[in-house]
Structure 1
Amino acid sequence: MNNVLEVNGLEVVYSTNRGDVKAVRGIDLDVRRGEILGIAGESGSGKSTLAVALLRLLKAPGKVTGGSVMFHPAGRSPVDLLKVHGEQLRVLRWSALSYLPQGSMSSLNPVMRVHDQFKDVILEHAPARKDSLDEMIPRLLEQVGLEARVGRMYPHELSGGMKQRVLMAIAVALEPDLVIADEPTTALDVTIQRVILQSLADLRRDFGVTLMVISHDMGVHAQLADRVAVMYEGQLVEVGDVRQVFKDPRDPYTRQLIDSIPKFGRRAS
């Protein structure tokens, strides 16, 4: 199997006055090139901590205490993301590994036009593309269903769904191998959620990007993911094909998550 990411024995703790609290406990997980892998679990299960640890964005008092994260970018040598630093890490970010953060409402600079926010990312990580920006940015916006004129707008002029799609376009601007999307449908109404999920599926189709989608909502994974990994108290309790997991979950916790999905016609007791 052609993996883009191989996580082995990953452990993350948060230091507190009462000692270390284990947030991620010995995670072993492969991410297959070209797939959409869902990471499921309730709040506090360790999903977002896993994401920021993989991205090397973990801040104190959090720290990685064990494991390896082998990343296989196309056309480059494999690298352990936990061991790279400085310029080597900067080069990998966005060109090979990018992030769609939780909370689109606060992730864009409110005093910069959308076009300039694209420029910041692209020129920082791929300065050689400077001369093609005026053609590149409208095309990226159009690929997530936004008109080119959005590039001239400020974040406060955009709806929540539009902001999320701007972030999606920025995340794939340099055609990375892997995009980690943290709760991409949070705080959006159900109609816009559907648009965002379709846009994510389109990114995989149009760019060939591998997606790791983190969400507490099992309905999101049912609609989008190829495989789903379920986390509980910092551990993986189940990983499998999304259809098989929904049809016959092995772990009782997975069954509880599936049962939490609202069903049409169900009456409140």
Structure 2
Amino acid sequence: MRNVLITFICVLICSCAATVPIPDKINGVSFVASRDEVAQEHIDPVVNVNADHAAVMPFGFIRDLESPELVYNTQRQWFGETSKGAKQYIEMLHKNNIQVMLKPQIWIWRGAFTGHLTMKTETEWQQLERSYAGFILEFAQLAQETNVAMYCIGTELNAFVSARPKFWSDLIIKVRDIYQGEITYAENWDTFANVPFWDELDYIGIDAYFPLSDEETPTLEALTKAWQPHKEEILKVHRKVDRPVLFTEYGYR
């Protein structure tokens, strides 16, 4: 099974009040898709680390950074990457009292970075928008049907977000027409401040791979000092848009 638990989700409790109720803490993991259905033995590690949330991540695929067509829910995909698989994972997690964030993501062939996805023409942009909206709205329906706690409408798509902000605002409205829970978007650590629609969401979602040290064994003091400018940048965005911060992924090298 490839359902390795690799990343955590947490909420930063910021100093000023937010318009969205903030839970005391979210202890979350990413529940990675596998080829097969999951059984209780695959959920037990999530329970054993005292997680109360898990991110379930179905996938859509794009040929390259300039392709406007997104392919998903195919027979060639792993079970956990499809809507059928995501539903089974969600049901198993819910049976164990673990709340779920459904987080559909894009994989670009050969692992190209999704943040660089961009089109050359207006026609191609419109094709990408139609394809991506279909992907996100289909999984929004699954999020509603399975009563997940949160829904993430995108992950690390900075060029797409920057070039087509109106599309994203319209997409948020369409998602809310389908899904009644809380929604977020997950942006990379170095571009999260550029997202123009944080105030239209319930959380500021950050994939928090902030660089802190090049040393093999840095001291706690060095890490604490290195974290401060990142913390200030996060607080700056939080205060500007009045939304709580969710680490949709995090890790350090």
Tell me the TM-score normalised to structure 2 length. Answer: 0.38
Q: As a proportion of its length, which structure holds more strand?
A: 1
Give 1 or 2 for the bigger CA radius of gyration: 1
Tell me the TM-score normalised to structure 1 length. Answer: 0.36
